RNA sequence: UGGGGGAUAGUUCAACGGUAGAACUGCGGACUCUGACUCCGUCAAUCUAGGUUCGAAUCCUAGUCCCCCAGCCA
């Protein structure tokens, strides 16, 4: 741990007690004695990487377990071998851990329960509550009815128990090809709830399962696996998103018709939506497969792995989730809310460094050639314990191109011809001359410095309106800096069908010629650092010893740039 | 004229029959060797119409609008 890390305490937000309708239910159940000890679970399907939407569920489930002195299981819901992979199983565990949660020894897989689930399916058959259906997928669909019309009973609905048992066992034995038959619950083909119109319990799938290999030829559906898995694990409160509300009657039906070891209850909450972001696994998978991003952990991705690589600290994700709350109303959270929590977390811990992203050469004409001075710079303005470091100053420097304007507007306080500014930690300098190339572009500034202002203060008490950052030409190191912007250009990108049209062509901007003070390199991969006046950055794993690469996690708030943009918009509207 | 949910500032969430609050955002200001941070101030909401009640965001009735469901996905 470098100085500065963990220097400050928890935020006010993290000290406040969470209250939401689910926690109210848990508290009431504990108080009434209906629940003795709360058990929750986070049940992702290992068919992709976890994203910030999952973080909401993770924080909810693990958070409730923690707060109420209970337990939260990590359960991989691996009931569909055609979509699931070991890579995802590994990534999910890594990401939950990174978020700061610990499932102890309670790592489970739905596939651990395949044998038990199979037994329960036979129980249902013996009770006359399930049957093997020979209809094709298409016939089943047609006979299911519509939203307004009831379905029709399958011609195979009244097979005998013996025949059903025999057929089901043959299904398990692998005697039939994919799709030949399914096992269905016998409930009510006329139910207004389509999930109750004889839902499929088992389908034939000749596929390789990452954990059970080819041992099974039939696999339970989500509905048949989920509630019973909860019951096996003693889950008391099974939390899921709103779209499963319709499944709750079916969830309950299985638990009531089967000899299960416990009686969990399902509760639903609204999933997270974010502006400028798409959080469907379908879209994220396509972004990766279609090469729109470099991988699941592309720093522009809303995946946990992407956020981590981008330099977002886990406490920021947790704090964000806390701030957005939990409710049943569909909503879209403003990305600005997330940005705020990221900046807040980073501001507390990130060490400060100086880096010039788009260099403009400055020569201090009255500074002796060959002279080099070491100046003190603090590592963190609010944390003396973070210490300080030395920065070398010399005659030739780089400043930010944006910090100079030849013809500045009124409110521009930075460098311009004749203007004096402070070079942070160094001297006051005044711009005397502007050097241009043949194309008329500014390529160098000729300045003078005031030796009396060493360290940044004028003995005569005179003030400057701006302090700008800089590096010494011969004492700085070159680096590549990648500035990240939202992956999507619109706050409400199109859905799964046309998301590609809304991709932001400027989601990544590569600054190949950035110059850093050498101390900027003493941060580890993914460790946040603030490049002063610009934003929070972290060193990326693409770095090599002679080619450091930094990623901009997020820029600093910039009210000046905002004002400029506002004035420009106003001028345009007026003219 | 199927079933299940939901509607409170611009956004997200509180208020659980008793003064509609917070955070983010916006706006204004103070401070500042980061136009950052911090601090202070401020604008801003109960979907509609009835009803019950001393009193309604909350209870009742009737509407309106939004979301989800017709996978052998989860």
The DSSP code for A6 is T
| Residue A259: both structure tokens together | 């000899």
Let me know: does A272 contact A52? Beta carbons within 8 Å: yes
* ipTM of the prediction: 0.97
Distance from residue A272 (CA) to nucleotide B9 (C1'), in Å?
21
pLDDT at residue number A17: 64
Nearest nt to the A563 alpha carbon by C1': B35
- In whole angstroms, how far apart are CA A31 and each of A23, A58, A263? 12, 24, 18
Nucleotides of B under 7 A from a protein CB: 1-8, 10-16, 23-27, 33-38, 66-74
Q: Which residue is nearest to nucleotide B37 (CA to C1')?
A: A347
Order of strands across the sheet with A467-468? A467-468, A420-423, A428-436, A442-450, A359-364, A396-400, A470-472
- In chain A (575 residues long), the average pLDDT of successive 10-residue segments reads 33 55 97 96 98 98 98 98 98 98 98 98 98 98 97 98 98 98 98 98 98 98 98 98 98 98 98 97 96 98 98 98 97 98 97 98 98 97 96 98 96 96 98 98 98 95 96 98 97 85 96 98 92 98 96 97 85 53
pLDDT for A566 equals: 84
Q: Which residues contact A441 (CB under 8 A, 6 or more apart)?
A: none
- The Å distance, CA of A196 to C1' of B30, is 64
Nucleotide in closest CA–C1' contact with A337 = B24
Q: Residue A403: which region, alpha, beta or left (left: phi > 0; alpha: psi -120 to 50)?
A: alpha
Q: Kindly state the tokens that stand for A290.
A: 């279609």
Residue A233 φ then ψ, to 5°: -85, -5
- Pairing mode, if any, of strands A477-484 and A508-516? antiparallel
Protein CA at A344 to nucleotide C1' at B24, angstroms: 12
Question: What nucleotide is nearest A220 when CA is compared to C1'?
Answer: B72
The model's pTM = 0.95
Among all residues of A, which ones are annotated catalytic?
45, 271, 281
Give the C-alpha separation, A355 to A334, whole Å.
30
Nearest residue to A517 via CA among A383, A394, A338? A394
Find and give the residue nearest to B24, measured CA to C1'. Answer: A337
Q: How many helices (H) and strands (E) does chain A have?
A: 14, 25
CA torsion A332-A336-A338-A344 (nearest 10°) is: -160
Q: What are residue A183's DSSP bridge partners? A: A132, A202
Residue nearest to nucleotide B67 (CA to C1'): A330
pLDDT for the residue numbered A388: 96
Our measurement of CA A64 to C1' B74, in angstroms, reads: 23
Give the DSSP H/E element, type plus range, for residue A225. helix A222-233
What is residue A519's predicted lDDT score, i.e. its pLDDT? 97
Kindly tell me the burial class for residue A131, based on how many C-beta atoms sit within 10 Å of its own C-beta (0-12, 13-18, 19 or more): buried
Question: Helix (H, G, I), strand (E, B), or coil: what is residue A58?
Answer: helix
Distance, Å, A23 CA → B14 C1': 14
The two structure tokens encoding residue A155: 């011609």
Contact A48, A285 (CB under 8 A): yes
What pLDDT does residue A572 have? 62
Residue nearest to nucleotide B22 (CA to C1'): A323
**What's the Å distance between residue A330 CA and nucleotide B68 C1'?**
10
pLDDT value, residue A573: 52
Beta carbons of A484 and A510 less than 8 angstroms apart: no
Strand partners, A71: A39
Strands (E), A504-548: 508-516, 528-531, 535-539
CA-to-CA dists, residue A468 to A403, A420, A428, A570, angstroms: 7, 11, 10, 28
Residue A557, CA atoms < 13 Å, CB-side half-sphere = 11
Q: Which of A212, A322, A326, A335 is nearest to A277 (CA)?
A: A335
For chain A, the maximum distance between any two Cα atoms, rounded to a whole number of angstroms, is: 102
Whether the Cβ atoms of residue A77 and residue A43 lie closer than 8 Å to each other: yes
Cα–Cα distance measured from residue A186 to residue A198, given in angstroms and rounded to the nearest whole number: 5
CA distances from residue A421 to A287, A415, A429, A435, A481 in whole angstroms, order as listed: 46, 6, 6, 19, 26
- Distances from the Cα of A505 to the Cα of A37, A438, A485, A509, angstroms: 51, 32, 10, 10
Angle ∠(A383,A386,A392) on CA atoms, nearest 5: 115
Rounded CA separation A271/A166 (Å):
42
- DSSP assigned state of A34: S
Which nt sits closest to A272, CA to C1'? B12
CA nearest neighbour of A415 among A426, A430, A437, A425: A430
* Closest nt to residue A137, judged CA to C1': B72
Residue at minimal CA–C1' distance from B7? A329
- Grouping H, G, I as helix, E, B as strand and the rest as coil, residue A103 is coil
């Amino acid at each position: 741990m470098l100085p500065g890390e963990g220097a400050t305490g928890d935020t006010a937000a993290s000290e406040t007690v969470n209250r939401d309708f689910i926690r109210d239910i848990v508290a009431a159940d504990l108080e009434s004695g209906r629940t003795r000890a709360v058990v929750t679970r986070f049940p992702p399907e290992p068919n992709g990487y976890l994203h910030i939407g999952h973080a909401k569920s993770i924080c909810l489930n693990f958070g409730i377990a923690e707060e109420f002195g209970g337990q939260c299981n990590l359960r991989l819901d691996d009931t569909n071998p055609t979509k699931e992979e070991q890579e995802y199983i590994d990534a999910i565990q890594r990401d939950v851990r990174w978020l700061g949660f610990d499932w102890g020894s309670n790592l489970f897989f739905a596939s651990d329960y395949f044998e038990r689930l199979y037994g329960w399916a036979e129980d249902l058959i013996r009770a006359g509550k399930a049957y093997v259906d020979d209809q094709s997928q298409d016939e089943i669909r047609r006979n299911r009815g519509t939203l307004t019309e009831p379905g029709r009973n399958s011609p195979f609905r009244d097979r005998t128990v013996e025949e059903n048992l025999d057929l089901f066992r043959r299904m398990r034995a692998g005697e039939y090809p994919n799709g030949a038959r399914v096992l269905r619950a016998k409930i009510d083909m006329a139910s207004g709830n389509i999930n109750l119109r004889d839902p499929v319990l088992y389908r034939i799938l000749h596929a390789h399962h990452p954990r059970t290999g080819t041992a099974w030829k039939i696999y339970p559906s989500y509905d048949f696996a989920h509630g019973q898995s909860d019951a096996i694990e003693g889950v008391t409160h099974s939390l899921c998103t709103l779209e499963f509300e319709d499944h709750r009657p079916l969830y309950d039906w299985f638990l009531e018709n089967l000899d299960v070891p416990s009686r969990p209850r399902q509760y639903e909450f609204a999933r997270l939506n974010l502006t400028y972001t798409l959080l469907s696994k379908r879209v994220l998978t396509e972004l990766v497969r279609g090469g729109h991003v470099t991988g699941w952990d592309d720093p522009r991705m809303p995946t946990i792995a992407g956020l981590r690589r981008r330099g977002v600290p886990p406490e920021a994700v947790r704090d964000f989730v806390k701030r957005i709350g939990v409710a049943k109303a569909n909503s879209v959270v403003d990305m600005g809310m997330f940005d705020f929590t990221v900046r807040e977390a980073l501001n507390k811990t990130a060490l400060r460094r100086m880096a010039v992203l788009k260099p403009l050469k400055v020569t201090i004409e009255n500074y002796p050639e060959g002279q080099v001075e070491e100046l003190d710079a603090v590592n963190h303005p609010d944390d003396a314990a973070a210490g300080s470091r030395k920065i070398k100053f010399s005659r030739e420097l780089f400043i930010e191109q944006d910090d100079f304007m030849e013809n500045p507007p009124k409110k521009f306080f930075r460098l311009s011809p004749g203007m004096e500014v402070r070079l942070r930690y160094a001297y006051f300098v005044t711009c005397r001359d502007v050097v241009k190339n043949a194309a008329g572009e500014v390529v160098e500034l000729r300045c003078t410095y005031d030796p009396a202002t060493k360290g940044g203060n004028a003995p005569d008490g005179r003030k400057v309106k701006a302090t700008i950052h800089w590096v010494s030409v011969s004492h700085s190191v070159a680096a590549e800096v990648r500035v990240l912007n939202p992956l999507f250009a619109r706050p409400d990108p199109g859905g799964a069908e046309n998301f590609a049209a809304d991709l932001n062509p400027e989601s990544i901007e590569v600054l190949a010629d950035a110059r850093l003070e050498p101390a900027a390199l003493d941060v580890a991969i993914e460790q946040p650092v603030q490049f002063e006046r610009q934003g929070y950055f972290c060193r990326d794993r693409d770095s090599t010893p002679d080619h450091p690469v930094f990623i901009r996690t997020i820029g600093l708030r910039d009210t000046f740039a905002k004002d400029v943009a506002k004035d420009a918009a106003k001028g345009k509207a007026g003219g």
